[in-house]
Amino acid sequence: MRIQLSDHFTYRKLIKFTLPTMGMMIVSSIYGVVDGLFVSNFAGKTPFAAINLIMPYIMIFSTIGFIFGTGGSAVVAKTMGEGDKDRANGYFSLFVYVSFALGVLFAALGIAIVRPVAVLLGSEGTLLEDAVLYSRIVLAALPFNALQFMFQPFFSTAEKPQLGLVTTVSSGVMNVALDALLVLLLPQPYKLVGAAVATAMSQVVGGVIPIVYFGRKNNSILRIGKARLDVRAIFKAVTNGSSEFMTNVSMSVVGMLYNIQLLEYAGENGVAAYGVMMYVSMIFAAMFIGYSIGVAPVIGYHDGAQNHAELRGLLRRSTVLIGGFGVSMVVAGEVLAVPLAALFVGYDAALSELTVSGLRIFALSFLLMGYAIFGSSFFTALNDGLTSALISFLRTLVFQVAAVLLLPLVFGIDGIWYSIIVAELMAMALSAAFVVAKRNKYHYM
Protein backbone atom coordinates (compact mmCIF):
# COMPACT_ATOMS: atom_id res chain seq x y z
CA MET A 1 0.00 0.00 0.00
CA ARG A 2 1.40 3.39 -1.01
CA ILE A 3 2.31 5.75 1.81
CA GLN A 4 0.59 9.13 1.42
CA LEU A 5 1.67 12.52 2.74
CA SER A 6 -1.57 12.76 4.71
CA ASP A 7 -0.85 9.58 6.70
CA HIS A 8 0.08 9.37 10.39
CA PHE A 9 3.80 8.58 10.51
CA THR A 10 5.19 6.12 13.05
CA TYR A 11 8.93 5.37 13.27
CA ARG A 12 8.44 2.41 10.94
CA LYS A 13 6.49 4.41 8.36
CA LEU A 14 8.96 7.31 8.54
CA ILE A 15 11.88 4.99 7.80
CA LYS A 16 9.96 3.18 5.06
CA PHE A 17 8.99 6.45 3.35
CA THR A 18 12.39 8.16 3.63
CA LEU A 19 14.55 5.08 2.97
CA PRO A 20 14.38 5.35 -0.85
CA THR A 21 15.41 9.01 -0.64
CA MET A 22 18.27 8.17 1.69
CA GLY A 23 19.27 5.43 -0.72
CA MET A 24 19.02 7.89 -3.60
CA MET A 25 21.38 10.35 -1.92
CA ILE A 26 23.82 7.64 -0.81
CA VAL A 27 23.96 6.11 -4.30
CA SER A 28 24.43 9.58 -5.78
CA SER A 29 27.34 10.16 -3.40
CA ILE A 30 28.86 6.77 -4.09
CA TYR A 31 29.02 7.24 -7.84
CA GLY A 32 30.74 10.59 -7.21
CA VAL A 33 33.22 8.74 -5.05
CA VAL A 34 33.77 6.11 -7.74
CA ASP A 35 34.66 8.94 -10.11
CA GLY A 36 37.34 10.06 -7.67
CA LEU A 37 38.60 6.52 -7.23
CA PHE A 38 39.15 6.05 -10.94
CA VAL A 39 40.90 9.39 -11.33
CA SER A 40 43.12 8.98 -8.27
CA ASN A 41 44.21 5.44 -9.05
CA PHE A 42 44.45 5.58 -12.86
CA ALA A 43 44.91 9.22 -13.87
CA GLY A 44 47.18 10.21 -10.97
CA LYS A 45 47.49 12.45 -7.95
CA THR A 46 47.60 15.77 -9.85
CA PRO A 47 44.33 15.23 -11.80
CA PHE A 48 42.72 14.03 -8.56
CA ALA A 49 43.88 17.19 -6.76
CA ALA A 50 42.66 19.28 -9.72
CA ILE A 51 39.13 17.85 -9.45
CA ASN A 52 39.03 18.45 -5.70
CA LEU A 53 40.34 21.98 -6.16
CA ILE A 54 37.72 22.99 -8.75
CA MET A 55 34.74 20.92 -7.52
CA PRO A 56 33.53 23.57 -5.02
CA TYR A 57 33.38 26.03 -7.93
CA ILE A 58 31.30 23.59 -10.00
CA MET A 59 28.93 22.99 -7.08
CA ILE A 60 28.18 26.71 -6.77
CA PHE A 61 26.50 26.61 -10.18
CA SER A 62 24.55 23.47 -9.28
CA THR A 63 22.76 25.30 -6.47
CA ILE A 64 19.96 26.41 -8.78
CA GLY A 65 18.61 22.86 -8.71
CA PHE A 66 18.75 22.70 -4.91
CA ILE A 67 16.91 26.03 -4.61
CA PHE A 68 13.90 25.03 -6.71
CA GLY A 69 14.00 21.45 -5.45
CA THR A 70 13.84 22.08 -1.71
CA GLY A 71 12.22 25.50 -1.81
CA GLY A 72 9.79 24.64 -4.58
CA SER A 73 8.77 21.30 -3.08
CA ALA A 74 7.91 23.09 0.18
CA VAL A 75 5.59 25.43 -1.73
CA VAL A 76 4.00 22.54 -3.65
CA ALA A 77 3.57 20.30 -0.57
CA LYS A 78 1.93 23.05 1.45
CA THR A 79 -0.37 23.93 -1.47
CA MET A 80 -1.45 20.28 -1.70
CA GLY A 81 -2.02 20.23 2.06
CA GLU A 82 -4.33 23.20 1.57
CA GLY A 83 -6.30 21.12 -0.97
CA ASP A 84 -5.41 22.90 -4.23
CA LYS A 85 -3.80 20.18 -6.39
CA ASP A 86 -4.16 22.01 -9.73
CA ARG A 87 -2.29 25.04 -8.45
CA ALA A 88 0.36 22.74 -6.93
CA ASN A 89 0.96 21.12 -10.35
CA GLY A 90 1.20 24.54 -11.97
CA TYR A 91 3.89 25.53 -9.49
CA PHE A 92 5.74 22.26 -10.08
CA SER A 93 5.78 22.78 -13.86
CA LEU A 94 6.93 26.38 -13.48
CA PHE A 95 9.86 25.37 -11.27
CA VAL A 96 10.97 22.74 -13.82
CA TYR A 97 11.06 25.28 -16.66
CA VAL A 98 12.82 27.97 -14.64
CA SER A 99 15.45 25.52 -13.32
CA PHE A 100 16.40 24.37 -16.81
CA ALA A 101 16.56 27.90 -18.22
CA LEU A 102 18.78 29.13 -15.38
CA GLY A 103 20.92 26.00 -15.79
CA VAL A 104 21.69 27.03 -19.37
CA LEU A 105 22.57 30.56 -18.28
CA PHE A 106 24.82 29.47 -15.42
CA ALA A 107 26.57 26.86 -17.58
CA ALA A 108 27.66 29.56 -20.03
CA LEU A 109 28.84 31.82 -17.22
CA GLY A 110 30.72 29.04 -15.41
CA ILE A 111 32.58 27.93 -18.52
CA ALA A 112 33.53 31.53 -19.36
CA ILE A 113 35.15 32.45 -16.02
CA VAL A 114 36.61 29.15 -14.79
CA ARG A 115 40.25 29.89 -15.70
CA PRO A 116 40.66 33.09 -13.66
CA VAL A 117 38.84 31.43 -10.76
CA ALA A 118 41.19 28.42 -10.86
CA VAL A 119 44.20 30.79 -10.87
CA LEU A 120 42.69 32.67 -7.92
CA LEU A 121 42.46 29.37 -6.03
CA GLY A 122 46.23 28.94 -6.34
CA SER A 123 46.49 26.44 -9.18
CA GLU A 124 49.16 26.69 -11.84
CA GLY A 125 50.79 24.58 -14.53
CA THR A 126 49.32 21.11 -15.02
CA LEU A 127 47.05 21.47 -11.98
CA LEU A 128 45.50 24.59 -13.54
CA GLU A 129 44.99 23.06 -16.98
CA ASP A 130 43.44 19.89 -15.53
CA ALA A 131 41.04 21.91 -13.35
CA VAL A 132 39.88 24.06 -16.27
CA LEU A 133 39.45 21.13 -18.64
CA TYR A 134 37.46 19.00 -16.19
CA SER A 135 35.14 21.80 -15.10
CA ARG A 136 34.30 22.95 -18.63
CA ILE A 137 33.20 19.47 -19.69
CA VAL A 138 31.10 18.91 -16.56
CA LEU A 139 29.52 22.39 -16.66
CA ALA A 140 28.29 21.72 -20.21
CA ALA A 141 25.77 19.31 -18.64
CA LEU A 142 24.70 21.80 -15.94
CA PRO A 143 21.09 22.28 -17.20
CA PHE A 144 20.47 18.55 -16.70
CA ASN A 145 22.38 18.51 -13.41
CA ALA A 146 20.14 21.34 -12.18
CA LEU A 147 17.07 19.27 -13.10
CA GLN A 148 18.53 16.18 -11.42
CA PHE A 149 18.97 18.08 -8.14
CA MET A 150 15.60 19.81 -8.51
CA PHE A 151 13.67 16.57 -8.93
CA GLN A 152 15.22 14.83 -5.90
CA PRO A 153 12.87 16.40 -3.30
CA PHE A 154 9.92 16.27 -5.70
CA PHE A 155 10.00 12.47 -5.92
CA SER A 156 8.89 12.35 -2.27
CA THR A 157 6.43 15.19 -2.79
CA ALA A 158 4.90 13.15 -5.63
CA GLU A 159 4.68 10.17 -3.24
CA LYS A 160 7.15 8.33 -5.50
CA PRO A 161 10.40 8.14 -3.49
CA GLN A 162 11.23 4.78 -5.11
CA LEU A 163 11.37 6.45 -8.53
CA GLY A 164 14.05 8.80 -7.20
CA LEU A 165 16.15 5.82 -6.18
CA VAL A 166 15.69 4.15 -9.60
CA THR A 167 16.69 7.36 -11.39
CA THR A 168 19.78 7.84 -9.24
CA VAL A 169 20.87 4.22 -9.65
CA SER A 170 20.48 4.55 -13.43
CA SER A 171 22.56 7.72 -13.40
CA GLY A 172 25.16 6.09 -11.18
CA VAL A 173 25.43 2.97 -13.34
CA MET A 174 26.01 5.21 -16.37
CA ASN A 175 28.77 7.08 -14.53
CA VAL A 176 30.55 3.95 -13.32
CA ALA A 177 30.26 2.18 -16.68
CA LEU A 178 31.67 5.15 -18.58
CA ASP A 179 34.42 5.60 -15.96
CA ALA A 180 35.43 1.98 -16.42
CA LEU A 181 35.34 2.33 -20.19
CA LEU A 182 36.93 5.75 -20.67
CA VAL A 183 39.32 6.20 -17.73
CA LEU A 184 40.72 2.68 -17.99
CA LEU A 185 40.98 2.45 -21.78
CA LEU A 186 41.93 5.96 -22.87
CA PRO A 187 45.66 6.88 -22.97
CA GLN A 188 47.05 8.87 -20.03
CA PRO A 189 46.53 12.42 -21.37
CA TYR A 190 42.81 11.73 -21.91
CA LYS A 191 41.88 9.86 -18.73
CA LEU A 192 40.71 13.05 -16.99
CA VAL A 193 38.60 13.91 -20.04
CA GLY A 194 37.04 10.46 -19.82
CA ALA A 195 36.13 10.99 -16.15
CA ALA A 196 34.57 14.37 -16.94
CA VAL A 197 32.53 12.95 -19.83
CA ALA A 198 31.33 10.09 -17.60
CA THR A 199 30.14 12.57 -14.96
CA ALA A 200 28.45 14.84 -17.52
CA MET A 201 26.59 11.98 -19.22
CA SER A 202 25.37 10.58 -15.90
CA GLN A 203 23.90 14.01 -15.09
CA VAL A 204 22.09 14.04 -18.43
CA VAL A 205 20.54 10.67 -17.57
CA GLY A 206 19.58 11.89 -14.08
CA GLY A 207 17.82 14.91 -15.55
CA VAL A 208 16.09 13.27 -18.52
CA ILE A 209 14.44 10.29 -16.77
CA PRO A 210 12.20 12.38 -14.48
CA ILE A 211 11.36 14.73 -17.37
CA VAL A 212 10.09 11.74 -19.35
CA TYR A 213 8.13 10.35 -16.37
CA PHE A 214 6.52 13.56 -15.14
CA GLY A 215 6.01 14.86 -18.70
CA ARG A 216 3.60 12.01 -19.52
CA LYS A 217 0.43 10.76 -17.88
CA ASN A 218 1.49 8.94 -14.69
CA ASN A 219 0.05 7.61 -11.44
CA SER A 220 1.79 10.12 -9.17
CA ILE A 221 0.16 13.30 -7.86
CA LEU A 222 2.44 15.56 -9.94
CA ARG A 223 2.75 16.09 -13.68
CA ILE A 224 4.59 18.61 -15.87
CA GLY A 225 2.15 20.65 -17.93
CA LYS A 226 1.20 24.22 -18.67
CA ALA A 227 2.40 26.89 -16.28
CA ARG A 228 1.91 30.61 -16.10
CA LEU A 229 4.67 32.93 -15.00
CA ASP A 230 4.12 33.54 -11.30
CA VAL A 231 6.86 35.79 -9.95
CA ARG A 232 5.47 35.53 -6.44
CA ALA A 233 5.69 31.71 -6.48
CA ILE A 234 9.24 31.85 -7.88
CA PHE A 235 10.21 34.33 -5.17
CA LYS A 236 8.67 32.12 -2.48
CA ALA A 237 10.53 29.07 -3.78
CA VAL A 238 13.80 30.99 -3.90
CA THR A 239 13.22 32.33 -0.39
CA ASN A 240 12.42 28.85 0.94
CA GLY A 241 15.37 27.34 -0.92
CA SER A 242 17.78 30.08 0.09
CA SER A 243 19.07 27.86 2.88
CA GLU A 244 20.13 25.22 0.36
CA PHE A 245 21.62 27.97 -1.79
CA MET A 246 23.55 29.26 1.20
CA THR A 247 24.60 25.74 2.16
CA ASN A 248 26.02 24.89 -1.24
CA VAL A 249 27.59 28.25 -1.98
CA SER A 250 29.03 28.47 1.53
CA MET A 251 30.34 24.90 1.40
CA SER A 252 31.94 25.67 -1.93
CA VAL A 253 33.55 28.86 -0.64
CA VAL A 254 34.70 27.10 2.52
CA GLY A 255 35.99 24.18 0.42
CA MET A 256 38.10 26.64 -1.54
CA LEU A 257 39.39 28.16 1.71
CA TYR A 258 40.23 24.70 3.07
CA ASN A 259 42.19 23.94 -0.09
CA ILE A 260 44.09 27.23 0.18
CA GLN A 261 44.96 26.48 3.81
CA LEU A 262 45.95 22.91 2.96
CA LEU A 263 48.16 24.01 0.09
CA GLU A 264 50.01 26.18 2.60
CA TYR A 265 50.27 23.57 5.37
CA ALA A 266 50.69 20.35 3.37
CA GLY A 267 50.89 21.15 -0.35
CA GLU A 268 49.24 18.94 -2.94
CA ASN A 269 49.04 16.06 -0.45
CA GLY A 270 46.83 18.15 1.82
CA VAL A 271 44.38 18.91 -0.99
CA ALA A 272 44.27 15.23 -2.00
CA ALA A 273 43.70 14.11 1.63
CA TYR A 274 40.90 16.64 2.03
CA GLY A 275 39.40 15.32 -1.21
CA VAL A 276 39.21 11.83 0.30
CA MET A 277 37.49 13.23 3.39
CA MET A 278 34.99 15.11 1.26
CA TYR A 279 34.14 11.95 -0.65
CA VAL A 280 33.65 10.03 2.60
CA SER A 281 31.64 12.89 4.07
CA MET A 282 29.40 12.94 0.99
CA ILE A 283 28.41 9.33 1.61
CA PHE A 284 27.89 9.69 5.35
CA ALA A 285 26.09 13.05 5.18
CA ALA A 286 23.90 11.68 2.37
CA MET A 287 21.90 9.72 4.95
CA PHE A 288 21.09 12.92 6.87
CA ILE A 289 20.35 14.85 3.69
CA GLY A 290 18.27 12.04 2.25
CA TYR A 291 16.21 11.72 5.41
CA SER A 292 15.67 15.48 5.58
CA ILE A 293 14.63 15.67 1.92
CA GLY A 294 12.37 12.64 2.30
CA VAL A 295 10.52 13.88 5.37
CA ALA A 296 10.26 17.55 4.27
CA PRO A 297 7.14 17.12 2.05
CA VAL A 298 5.40 15.34 4.93
CA ILE A 299 6.20 18.25 7.25
CA GLY A 300 5.06 20.76 4.62
CA TYR A 301 1.81 18.91 3.98
CA HIS A 302 0.84 18.70 7.65
CA ASP A 303 1.80 22.32 8.18
CA GLY A 304 -0.53 23.29 5.31
CA ALA A 305 -3.26 21.08 6.81
CA GLN A 306 -2.66 22.63 10.27
CA ASN A 307 -2.14 19.17 11.79
CA HIS A 308 -0.04 20.27 14.75
CA ALA A 309 -0.12 16.93 16.57
CA GLU A 310 1.47 15.21 13.57
CA LEU A 311 4.11 17.96 13.33
CA ARG A 312 5.07 17.36 16.95
CA GLY A 313 5.41 13.63 16.32
CA LEU A 314 7.50 14.17 13.19
CA LEU A 315 9.93 16.46 15.02
CA ARG A 316 10.29 14.13 18.01
CA ARG A 317 10.81 10.98 15.97
CA SER A 318 13.19 12.69 13.55
CA THR A 319 15.37 13.87 16.42
CA VAL A 320 15.69 10.32 17.73
CA LEU A 321 16.40 8.81 14.33
CA ILE A 322 19.10 11.37 13.47
CA GLY A 323 20.84 10.71 16.78
CA GLY A 324 20.91 7.00 16.02
CA PHE A 325 22.26 7.61 12.51
CA GLY A 326 24.99 9.85 13.94
CA VAL A 327 26.29 7.32 16.46
CA SER A 328 26.43 4.60 13.78
CA MET A 329 28.35 6.86 11.41
CA VAL A 330 30.99 7.84 13.95
CA VAL A 331 31.69 4.18 14.68
CA ALA A 332 31.84 3.36 10.97
CA GLY A 333 34.11 6.32 10.25
CA GLU A 334 36.63 5.32 12.91
CA VAL A 335 36.66 1.65 11.89
CA LEU A 336 36.93 2.36 8.15
CA ALA A 337 39.54 5.15 8.24
CA VAL A 338 42.47 2.90 7.28
CA PRO A 339 40.76 0.87 4.52
CA LEU A 340 39.20 4.03 3.02
CA ALA A 341 42.57 5.78 2.90
CA ALA A 342 44.12 2.70 1.32
CA LEU A 343 41.33 2.54 -1.25
CA PHE A 344 41.87 6.11 -2.45
CA VAL A 345 45.54 6.88 -1.88
CA GLY A 346 47.20 3.60 -0.86
CA TYR A 347 49.81 4.17 -3.58
CA ASP A 348 51.43 6.98 -1.51
CA ALA A 349 52.46 6.15 2.08
CA ALA A 350 52.82 9.76 3.29
CA LEU A 351 49.50 10.79 1.76
CA SER A 352 47.79 7.71 3.18
CA GLU A 353 49.06 8.46 6.70
CA LEU A 354 47.86 12.07 6.47
CA THR A 355 44.45 10.92 5.24
CA VAL A 356 43.97 8.38 8.05
CA SER A 357 44.90 10.97 10.69
CA GLY A 358 42.43 13.47 9.25
CA LEU A 359 39.63 10.95 8.81
CA ARG A 360 39.74 9.85 12.44
CA ILE A 361 39.30 13.41 13.63
CA PHE A 362 36.81 14.33 10.93
CA ALA A 363 34.57 11.30 11.69
CA LEU A 364 33.55 12.79 15.05
CA SER A 365 31.60 15.50 13.20
CA PHE A 366 29.07 12.90 12.00
CA LEU A 367 27.60 12.77 15.51
CA LEU A 368 26.62 16.45 15.22
CA MET A 369 26.03 17.41 11.59
CA GLY A 370 22.68 15.66 11.14
CA TYR A 371 20.88 17.97 13.55
CA ALA A 372 21.83 21.16 11.71
CA ILE A 373 21.04 19.59 8.33
CA PHE A 374 17.61 18.50 9.54
CA GLY A 375 17.02 21.79 11.39
CA SER A 376 17.56 23.81 8.23
CA SER A 377 15.38 21.44 6.16
CA PHE A 378 12.67 21.48 8.85
CA PHE A 379 12.22 25.24 8.58
CA THR A 380 12.39 25.12 4.79
CA ALA A 381 9.50 22.63 4.87
CA LEU A 382 7.58 25.05 7.10
CA ASN A 383 8.15 27.76 4.44
CA ASP A 384 10.32 29.69 6.90
CA GLY A 385 13.18 30.29 4.48
CA LEU A 386 14.80 33.05 6.54
CA THR A 387 15.38 30.85 9.59
CA SER A 388 16.53 27.97 7.42
CA ALA A 389 18.95 30.22 5.53
CA LEU A 390 20.35 31.66 8.75
CA ILE A 391 21.11 28.20 10.13
CA SER A 392 22.78 27.19 6.86
CA PHE A 393 24.70 30.44 6.49
CA LEU A 394 26.14 30.33 10.00
CA ARG A 395 26.83 26.60 9.87
CA THR A 396 28.50 26.34 6.51
CA LEU A 397 30.18 29.73 6.23
CA VAL A 398 30.62 31.78 9.40
CA PHE A 399 31.36 28.97 11.87
CA GLN A 400 33.60 27.00 9.49
CA VAL A 401 35.52 30.02 8.19
CA ALA A 402 36.24 31.22 11.70
CA ALA A 403 37.31 27.76 12.81
CA VAL A 404 39.49 26.94 9.79
CA LEU A 405 41.31 30.27 10.05
CA LEU A 406 41.92 30.15 13.81
CA LEU A 407 42.41 26.51 14.84
CA PRO A 408 45.36 25.75 12.51
CA LEU A 409 47.26 28.53 14.26
CA VAL A 410 47.12 26.41 17.43
CA PHE A 411 46.96 22.81 16.19
CA GLY A 412 48.66 23.03 12.78
CA ILE A 413 47.12 20.88 10.07
CA ASP A 414 45.06 18.94 12.65
CA GLY A 415 43.32 22.24 13.40
CA ILE A 416 41.84 22.12 9.90
CA TRP A 417 40.16 18.80 10.70
CA TYR A 418 39.08 19.96 14.21
CA SER A 419 37.48 23.05 12.68
CA ILE A 420 34.72 20.92 11.12
CA ILE A 421 33.77 19.44 14.50
CA VAL A 422 33.69 22.85 16.19
CA ALA A 423 31.55 24.32 13.42
CA GLU A 424 29.05 21.43 13.55
CA LEU A 425 28.76 21.69 17.35
CA MET A 426 27.93 25.39 17.12
CA ALA A 427 25.44 24.74 14.31
CA MET A 428 23.67 22.03 16.32
CA ALA A 429 23.28 24.42 19.27
CA LEU A 430 21.95 27.13 16.97
CA SER A 431 19.40 24.78 15.39
CA ALA A 432 18.14 23.68 18.80
CA ALA A 433 17.78 27.32 19.86
CA PHE A 434 15.64 28.12 16.81
CA VAL A 435 13.45 25.04 17.31
CA VAL A 436 12.70 26.17 20.87
CA ALA A 437 12.25 29.83 19.93
CA LYS A 438 9.76 29.08 17.11
CA ARG A 439 7.70 26.48 18.98
CA ASN A 440 4.71 28.76 19.63
CA LYS A 441 4.54 30.01 16.04
CA TYR A 442 4.35 26.55 14.44
CA HIS A 443 2.89 24.56 17.37
CA TYR A 444 5.25 21.56 17.03
CA MET A 445 6.20 21.45 20.72
Q: Mean per-residue pLDDT for 411-415? A: 82
Instruction: Enter the pTM of the model.
Output: 0.75
Tell me the percentage of the chain whose pLDDT exceeds 90. 32
Q: Rounded to an integer, what is the distance from CA 209 to the centroid of its chain?
A: 20
Q: How far is CA 114 from CA 36, 107, 118, 145, 440, in A?
A: 20, 11, 6, 18, 47
pLDDT of 253: 73
Q: Name which of 135-144, 197-206, 408-417 the model is least confident about.
A: 408-417
For the segment 351-359, the average pLDDT, to the nearest whole number, is 85
Give the integer Cα–Cα distance in Å for 167 and 149.
11
pLDDT digits (tens, 9 = 90+) for 222-276: 899 888 888 989 988 888 777 666 676 666 677 777 777 777 777 777 777 777 7
Identify each DSSP E strand in 147-264 by its residue range.
Answer: none
Q: Could you tell me if 132 and 118 are in contact, meaning their C-beta atoms sit under 8 angstroms apart?
A: yes
Query: In this predicted structure, what is the pLDDT of residue 180?
Result: 85
Encode pLDDT of 294-314 as tens digits: 898 899 899 888 899 999 999
Question: Which pLDDT belongs to residue 213?
Answer: 93
| 31-45, 90-104, 126-140: the lowest-pLDDT one | 31-45
**How many Å is the Cα radius of gyration of the chain?**
21
Identify the pLDDT of residue 132.
92
For residues 16-37, average pLDDT:
81
Residue 32 has pLDDT above 70, yes or no: no
Distance CA 275, CA 268 (A): 11
Alpha helices by DSSP H, listed for 216-307, are: 231-240, 242-304
pLDDT at 244: 67
Higher pLDDT, 266 or 22: 22
11-38 and 191-215 helices, crossing angle to 10°: 150
Asked whether the predicted pLDDT for residue 326 surpasses 90, the reply is: yes
Q: How confident is the model at residue 396 (pLDDT cuts 50, 70, 90)?
A: confident
The amino acid occupying position 262 is L
Evaluate the CA torsion angle 366, 368, 372, 374 in order and state its sign: positive
What does each C-alpha distance from 332 to 23, 122, 339, 340, 364 come to in angstroms? Answer: 17, 34, 11, 11, 10
Q: What is the pLDDT of residue 82?
A: 86
Query: DSSP label at 2?
Result: -
Most trustworthy range by pLDDT among 46-50, 304-308, 412-416: 304-308
Segment 186-229, tens digit of pLDDT: 888 789 899 899 999 999 999 999 999 999 888 888 899 888 88
Average pLDDT of the chain to the nearest whole number: 86
